[in-house]
Amino acid sequence: MRVLHLDSGRQMRGGQWQVLRLIEGLASSAIDSTLLAREASPLFQAARALGWHVEPLTLGRLAVEARRHDLVHAHDARAHTLAAAVAGRKPLVVARRVAFPVGAGVCSRWKYGRARQFVAVSQFVGRVLVEGGIGPARVAVVYDGVPLLPPSEGGRVLMPNGGGDSLKETGLAAEAARLAGVRIEVSTDLERDLRTAAVFVYLTRSEGLGSGALLAMSAGVAVVASDVGGLQEALQHRATGMLVENSPAAVAAAIGELTGNPEFARSLGAAARRRVRERFTVDRMVLDTLNVYRQVLS
């Protein structure tokens, strides 16, 4: 099986990490992958450094490579549009990570009709697709997979770098930490910084799943997350994390409870790490995606 992956992202965010982990996992199953990505993007550079077959994402290259592969996997909305326009009759698999409603216009209907199968990052996103007119048989749920990090040893309170995403509530996190009387730090390298964290604050107005929250869970760090979208599938309130409404008082109360009761925070973190091991591993993500490919090609 030969798979052509498309990603047009300019930054290295959750979706790009999933592409990188997926290609690596597929290689261990003897699946030949080619990645087309923006030449200056961190994903392009990371894939090249790892020795994967990666080429610049252009219309011409896409047209050529689509003919050489068995199926095309578009990993973001722009890649979906390009593949729908250029990839011809090749089976098209589209990753759907966002919780936005499906457009109702003519162009949107054409674009979504072109995909053979959608891979939703959560049940929540899957329901959004079905509500937008996508037949349930064309929607498969494949959760993100994250590496199992060493258990954290530290007391820092972290929040992710919003990366310019207007949906991320970084200002709310900072205000809540101030109310709680706690210093919160912005992480630009989660895998590094989670080693010494006790609490991770992940706030957003909309979320498909929350791979940053999953990464914190894998390190056994207690997560405070917005009670929205797919985060309700990643976390179980007061069992593997804290789900809160997006208000300064509610977030501050959760942060204060965890920092004031380290034993409770550690118990949540340990349970969260077990949940990642059971449901959100890279191996499971790769296997579930490979099953989608086989179904599409059968």
Taking alpha carbons only, the member of 24, 35, 91, 39 closest to residue 62 is 35
0.75 surpassed by pTM: yes
The per-residue pLDDT for 168 is 83
The per-residue pLDDT for 84 is 94
pLDDT of 10-25, one tens digit each? 999 999 999 999 999 9
The per-residue pLDDT for 106 is 86
The per-residue pLDDT for 169 is 83
Taking alpha carbons only, the member of 157, 184, 97, 145 closest to residue 284 is 145
Residue-averaged pLDDT of the chain: 95
pLDDT of 65-87, one tens digit each? 999 999 999 999 999 999 999 98
User: What structural domains does the chain harbor?
Assistant: 2-145+281-297 (3.40.50.2000), 156-279 (3.40.50.2000)
Taking alpha carbons only, the member of 143, 80, 190 closest to residue 292 is 143
Contact 219, 151 (CB under 8 A): yes
Please state, in angstroms and rounded to a whole number, the distance separating the CA atoms of residues 65 and 62.
5
Tokens for 279, please give them: 């449901």
Q: pLDDT under 70 in the chain at which residues? A: 163-164
Taking alpha carbons only, the member of 144, 82, 143 closest to residue 115 is 82
